[in-house]
Structure 1
């Protein structure tokens, strides 16, 4: 199983200078941060998906689909249920669902999803070495840039080690896929926690 997100392609994103990529990521984050309306966030989501398609990163988006769902859906539901503004459409003692809370929850979910999608696109089109160059050209201190790039190098190694442990446990007959969702998550805890 592939543990890195980088996709080797010759797309326009891959050919950009690393500094432009880092600045572009910051610009996308900044534009997402200031918008809460889901109607205004939708065109940016479509643009990010078009960029993902153009640079060949849709395989990473598909590979991480459950991660996107696990991040976006709880965020949306939490804001929809606990954001208490407007006339309630549904009112249960602890929960207050109004049109405003539905729109706000949808906006927050889209916002988080777009932040993750932009990060996945950045990592799909940027090598770790390019990231180091981009950060140093933007004036980031060497130690901080080195720490960030070191983290990007170590995460795939840790993932690869965890996947090796999972494969070894499967060979011994341990079934990670048995039971319901909570049972499956519980079975992965010994792999994640040393």
Structure 2
């Protein structure tokens, strides 16, 4: 009888150990899954002016909307999106930008920026019906912001201060720039990291 009881206790002990190991493994997988499904905002990089910096204003002639001033005090926030006719992701984003321009026009002014072949730029404007969005051609603007990859976006508040920036591949990443302005966090990555640190403490 004692042997049977000891055997049963041994089996139960093994089951408890197995359940503990399974629980720990499952907890780890939940953590990995959480990291994978955390929203990915605009990919912040170190190019161009720093977040919180206020670049000197630049007044440029657009291809479709006359003179445009970027930087300095403005009535609205300004989103500058650097694009190119040869950039396939840019072409996918342009309809999104047109929609955002209409939806967010109460507080946001959108400007498209590029350099290079003017006829190709005008063809892009006509093809995507961008007449209502200022489109500037300026190599100097790209140099000032040290744009290395496209599409690259910079969001400035009404004072001309850079509140967010980064590489953009989707509408969600574009909207993450707006969330950064509203929340005070420079990016969703920054938000996740700071909240993870807070939870761990």
User: Normalized against structure 1, the TM-score is what?
Assistant: 0.24
Larger radius of gyration: 2
Structure with the larger helix share: 1
User: Normalized against structure 2, the TM-score is what?
Assistant: 0.23
Structure with the larger strand share: 2
